[in-house]
Structure 1
Amino acid sequence: MTTIVKAADAAHFLSLIPAMLGFTPRRSLVLVPFHGVRSIGGLRLDLPRDDTDLDAFAGTCLGMICRIPDADAFAAAIFSDDACADGLPGAELVAALRRGADACGVRVTDALSVGSDGWGSHLDSDCPPGGRPLGALTPVQVSDPPAAGDQASGAELPVVDAARVAAVGDALPALLAALDGLRVPVGAPRGTGRNRPRIHPEALAVAERLDDIVDVFEQALATDAPTASPFLAALLVWCLSRPALRDVAIVQWSADARRGHRALQSQQRWEEGEDYPLDLARTMWGDGPRPDPERLTRALTLTRDVAALAPEPFRPGALATCAWLSWALGRSTHAERYALLALDIEPTHGLAEIVLTFVNAGHLPDWAFRRP
């Protein structure tokens, strides 16, 4: 259900932005595109550094606006830690945005700044030199209030019980031993007596589930992460550390089990020399069909828990998966955090490097610019 809230004035509009984004932006530029008088989402960007070419930055912003179908106007809101004593923060950035908008034929409905001690509109000739009092920006009561904190909040891995960490740490080598045992060719001697390695029965049962890994990924999505068994968590840790299986999980969690089966079969054929289907590859690059955000959110909850439980050598795969899922959900700040954590452990981790490149280039998935 879509909740429509009409902004009575500029102060009310600024107060609505945290509810629109799901957090309170800090040191940010927020662009709110409009179709007619209705807003159609919001885009948050870090404020440009002092040495940034503001016209080039504004061009990137206008490029994003113009990618949104039906967008014919936008409002800009700057959230700064600077004071308003010497004028509203971001005046030069606003001027660059207005130049870019004129060049693109896009209307600027308002250009606002919130500083440490005031706020105001750059288009309001009656705005006092030091801005208006911050007291006018009272939180708006909405059915889905924003989370506490700013855009970076909530990117920390969940705090997990030490006993669970230890249990997964014990389950993982047992799982690896079971997987190694399953790789012994049929009919080959497996050792006898003291020479026969003991395989934990639960590890063996979980390892055998690799025969239907798509079902494992689908059931994991429906499992309350903190209640997952140590051996299932260990299996997910192992799967996400292997690029081929991790990519199957990402494609599947972006759509459904049927697409997961296709991704698995395509991966196997690719390893045999066939071309990988373009429509599946496009999902990884953010150019495919719009994923189900509810599935992506559940997958992110799951993989955050897996990353928190994983022994450090196995953690980068889960962290990089968290990074991709966050990026796909439009949470680039969180995606950067997870990618950097993965690269701290494994400096050349492929998916983490890709996601970090996306974030640093300001590249968003194509579906971010298409309304549901």
Structure 2
Amino acid sequence: MTRTDRLATARHSPSREPELLCVSGLPDLLAAVPSMIGLHPEEALVVVPFLGNRSGGGFRFPIPERLRRAEIDQLAGRCVRFTASIPRATAVLAIVYTRRSYESARGIPLLDLGRAVLRRLERTDLGIVDVACVAADGWGRYTSAEETRAPRPLAEIEGSETGVLARAAAPEPLDVSALAALPTVSDADRAAVAAIVRRPAAGALDVIGLVERWLHGPPAPRQEATIIRVLQSPPLRDQTTLQIALGSEAAFEERRRQRRLEGEQARTGRTMDELVEGDIHAGLEDAHDLVSASLMMGTGPGPDPERTERAAGRLARAAALAPVEARPPVLTVLAWCWWALGVSSVAARHLEEALRIDPHYSMAKLHWSVFEIRAVPDWVLDGAARSLDRAAARPRAR
């Protein structure tokens, strides 16, 4: 999977006015990029769209370990497509961040990638701010013959006053590896959770109420164990995902739909897949069905970002507590949350772990396919466009 992150909207309030930072050259701009996108970019292609001389964020495309011609072409192509998806963007800055060095590469690292991105951008109507590389031992521009041979010092970026101001004006950029790591939990809590998960469920359960208490209350191993067990059921897993994204009413509607289908299944003997397909062909999909499908496919208005971000933290703890064999459903819902927030590289790591544990887990495979097609949901792209518009609309300080 080629993973893509839109990072500026996930951690910032949409209503917050963007900070205006004046830059006097490319080193200043490079110094501000981590704060603009919300992450420390490592082994990544970062694309920053501009409207005039203003920008409000950017995208991050992780660079795969094996970078062959096919991967280079795919990265360069996606760079252009994602920039084109911001309708009012007039120009773009592309930066390759890598741990490779000029010394080891005998010149600017990842030259083929930089040139491929430049060629693709030259075929568009977008202005090119620059295509640059920040390496382990210096930085340079793929557009400068001199800088492809010898680096400029990193001190030009690290000593930038603009970078200091950017870090002061925005939350501290996150580390992707740290973000993807599951939290540390105690052996006692893990053992208590395993005992509950592995014993048979007793009696009826108010799943919707449980999910709300789990989302908004303090962590409690017994409650977390019940959530882990709930997620083992595909219908309840899907209902919980909708509840995380849209709230309790969506979960009640999903439960009503599921009970109707179960009743038809008992009456007709048809499979659930056959019943759902029949509803689609008969045009019986209602507004709830359309919203649910759009949400899972990354189209439409999107989920509640605060609920989704809160759930990501709770699900990460649940995955850390869960017995290994019970983790795939938890990791899969966690992956969807990160994808919905626009941090697809973290989502992919959780999906990879779910499929490592259970290569046949169907929902993880389905999400993988969706993320391949739509690496960034529409609502994240819409947020990027709004962020760019807000940045462009701010009056320059006098």
Task: Confirm or deny a common fold (TM above 0.5).
Answer: yes
2:32 to 16, 36, 61: 16
Partner of 1:345: 357
Q: C-alpha distance in 2, partners of 1:232/1:44? A: 36
Question: Do the aligned residues in 1 keep the contact of 2:44 with 2:62 (CA within 8 Å)?
Answer: yes
Q: Distance in 2 between matches of 1:21 and 1:153?
A: 16
Q: Which runs of 5+ in 1 are unaligned?
A: 183-207
Q: Distance in 2 between matches of 1:304 and 1:292?
A: 18
Q: 1:114 aligns with which of 134, 145, 163?
A: 134
**Partner residue of 2:237 out of 237, 243, 246:** 246
Residue 212 of structure 2 is matched in structure 1 by 218
Which one of the candidate residues 322, 325, 329 is aligned to 1:317? Answer: 329
Which aligned pairs between 1:129-168 and structure 2 lie closer than 5 A? 129-138=149-158, 140=164, 141-147=167-173, 149=175, 151-168=176-193
Are residue 171 (structure 1) and residue 191 (structure 2) matched?
Answer: no
Mean CA deviation greater in 2-11 or 48-57 = 48-57
Tell me if the contact between 2:47 and 2:94 (Cα under 8 Å) persists in the aligned partners: yes
Q: Which amino acid aligns with 1:218?
A: E
Shift in Å, 1:303: 0.8
CA change 1:132–1:317 in 2 (3 A) is same
- 1:76 aligned partner: 94
Partner of residue 272, structure 2: none
Aligned in 2, Cα 1:269/1:72: closer, same or farther, shift over 3 Å? farther
RMSD: 2.4
User: Residue 132 of structure 1 aligns to a residue in which SS?
Assistant: coil
Q: What CA distance in whole angstroms lies between the structure 1 residues aligned with 2:371 and 2:30?
A: 26
In 2: Cα distance, 1:148 partner to 1:365 partner:
21
Q: Which amino acid aligns with 2:217?
A: T
Larger Rg: 1
- Give the structure 2 partner of residue 268 of structure 1: 259
Secondary structure, counterpart of 2:168 in structure 1: coil
Matched AA of 2:136: S
Number of residue pairs the alignment of both structures matches: 337
> Quick one: distance in 2 between partners of 1:332 and 1:128?
31
Q: Say if 1:268 and 1:364 are closer, same or farther in 2 by CA, change over 3 A.
A: farther
Pair 51,261 (structure 1): closer, same or farther in 2 beyond 3 Å:
same
CA contact (8 A) 2:242 2:292 kept: yes
Deviation at 1:288, TM superposition (A): 2.7
Q: Deviations over 1:139-192 (max 9, x none)?
A: 53324443464x333211111111111222233345x241xxx3xxxxxxxxxx
Higher share in helix: 2
Separation (CA, whole Å) in 1 of partners of 2:245 and 2:201: 31
Percent of aligned positions that are identical? 32
Summarize the alignment of residues 256-295 of structure 1 with structure 2, pairs less than 5 Å apart: 256-271=247-262, 272=264, 273=275, 275=279, 277-295=289-307
Give, in whole Å, the separation in 2 of the partners of 1:224 and 1:322.
19
- Check conservation: 1:21, 1:146, Cα contact below 8 A: no
Structure 2: unaligned runs, 5 residues or longer? 1-15, 265-274, 280-284, 387-398
TM-score, length of structure 2 as denominator length:
0.77
Deviations 1:185-239 (A, max 9, x none): xxxxxxxxxxxxxxxxxxxxxxx433xx2222222211233xx2x3321210111
- The match for 1:91 among 78, 97, 111 is 111
**In structure 2, distance between residues paired with 1:177 and 1:82:** 52
Residue 382 (structure 2) pairs with residue 370 (structure 1): yes
Aligned equivalents of 2:296, 2:373: Cα separation in 1: 16
**1:70, CA displacement in angstroms?**
1.5
Bigger RCO (CA 8 Å, 6+ sep): 2
**Deviations 1:283-338 (Å, cap 9, x if unpaired)?**
11111322222111101111111111112222211111111111111222211221
CA distance in 2, matches of 1:87, 1:129: 5
Q: Tell whether 2:22 aligns with 1:26.
A: no
